Chain A
């Protein structure tokens, strides 16, 4: 009995330590977003702010006129750009990689080499491709548009998603496809109405990952965009690193706004993760 209590106690301690390790940065970001400027940098650090303020969001504590680097009042266009780019990257990535993965998994399209080649694209550092792409996109008049970023984000999200979904489709018994063919379903129908619902957890996970990858990507967005017309949130955050300070409060406030859509998207997709698991089919 005592041994059980000790083990349970130790488990709780370990859990608290792990949770602290992962959640403290989030707590710090949230509190800093509402801290007065004198509490951003203090020793000992202010763990629990004595008073909260919205000045990092509204830019009222700037000491001079103007608030571009002392508030988040100009965040909306960047938020919109990020949302559109990440959502469409996620959507296109899901459609393309699910189709590609099904084709490779079921019909061995391209043999073993195609699957290996797809994953090898992930090994290419983005910086090595982004400069030639920059010149190519310049000639195509695509620079500083959402399309430029979406297309480039697809380059690194599709291989990863395809690779993972191949394994996922391989896990779904082939007998299900064959049963559908006997009932007169075409390949497309089988894929759309039978395999896709069954693989919903995998696809939801991939869509979420593609969204997160696109949402947080900095380098490509930095090189291919040059104005608020298409710049994303990671680029927006750079404005708080000024020539003489890092505005930690507004940076945390903008970070908080940056985090929220990812959390919302992940929770929305969680529903499908569970739904896919309980969809009527052969269970093992």
Chain B
């Protein structure tokens, strides 16, 4: 019996010992959303070649988990991570947990790379994915936005063009307004046009999740950002986003807000399961050739590129700006944890990961949307990817979600109510939207 116990002790020491050992080298723990993890790992490998005394460990954490884990660390100041990717809409909530990098640069001039050009970022992107309450809490890393993908081969098909002309009296083209989208989507829906080459016209995602919260902005922002909208509600505050007026009150509880929901409802018959679909489903509908159009994020390009139904890819898939010209931002930034014990090394890594060279590499190799204007303007990049020219136009005009700490609560209330309106369980009226706005104000006044 005794020999068994001695053996067990040895096994315990052998296995658990290394786990408790203090680490001699500097190990940076980088928490990343899965979308950014491959690019960050690649960057980390090159960073470690440059700085052999620093080990970088990239940990992919799913979107749903990353945010609460970060909040837990912000609250307890544990320093469980050194660097993390944070989502633009969580800026206000996570800000207390991140170092002011502007201040850090001033205090550590020896670490600053003179070639690292802060003016190379689009000012709006720099603000939404970098600034909170006047502090530089992050550096834009993944400049995600929504684009409008369409079946180029179908829109160029002479027979289909003639059919569309006969049916509607109009010319078949990539829609530039949501009203035009209705006609095109109807034409590409078998139920309304038995000759349609696709089952449905457009893949929409209006599930009862945060997806619905940003999808609404594709339809409301054109009103919010119009000259009349600016006159009525004032300029868009980049912290409160397009849901709000310039004086930080809800703007969607208005006839324009009702029209946006009406447009969403009008498009639903031409989409497969719009209330039950999210990213994955809409991506697959387009990848399989079930639909002719889909509004989606920049990252889906890689999936479309390898989809058998979309080959030859360059002839079958086109990309355009969102109808009505207003996309929605979905940026990710890199931030330095205020509780990190390796701040200098972490700063070096962030600086390295966001320099011009890596911004280009991460896009060309991994499809992670560029953050720097120099990358978007690079001829090699523009030639390699047709998204880039559309992307540059889109980021100039896109709408934004709120970045305030109350955002999750506002989102919860809104997606529930909007779902009921889209289902027809609640009337789509200004009075109904006022009820949501009243709940928002209660939360904001707390």
> Which chain A residues have a beta carbon within 8 Å of chain B's beta carbons?
37-38, 40-42, 61-69, 84, 88, 131, 134-135, 138, 143-147, 192, 222-223, 226-231, 235, 238-246, 248
Contacts and interface: CB of A to CB of B under 8 A. Distances in A.
9 contacts: A37-B306, A62-B306, A68-B37, A192-B1, A239-B62, A243-B144, A243-B299, A244-B300, A245-B280
Contacts of B296: 244
B97 to A, nearest CB: 14
A230 B23 CA distance: 14
A41 B284 contact: yes
B35 interface: yes
Interface stretch (B64-72, B243-251, B373-381): B64-72
* Among B280, B300, B307, residue most surrounded by chain A Cβ atoms (within 10 Å): B280
A88 B16 CA distance: 10
Give the interface residue-count category, chain B: 35 or more
Interface stretch (B74-82, B190-198, B398-406, B423-431): B74-82
A244 B29 contact: no
Interface string B3-26: 000000000000110011000000
* Among A135, A229, A230, residue most surrounded by chain B Cβ atoms (within 10 Å): A229
A64 B20 contact: no
A63 B72 contact: no
A229 B367 contact: no
Contacts of B33: 242-243
B60 A244 contact: no
B2 interface: no
B209 interface: no
A226 B42 CA distance: 20
B80 A143 contact: yes
Given A38-B284, A63-B305, 11 more contacts: A38-B288, A64-B302, A66-B365, A67-B38, A68-B58, A69-B38, A226-B69, A227-B29, A238-B62, A239-B34, A241-B64
* Among A66, A67, A138, A245, residue most surrounded by chain B Cβ atoms (within 10 Å): A245
B37 A239 contact: yes
A63 B300 CA distance: 10
A147 B15 CA distance: 11
Interface string B212-231: 00000000000000000000
B299 A244 contact: yes
Given A66-B39, A69-B38, A192-B1, A244 B283 contact: yes
A64 B304 CA distance: 11
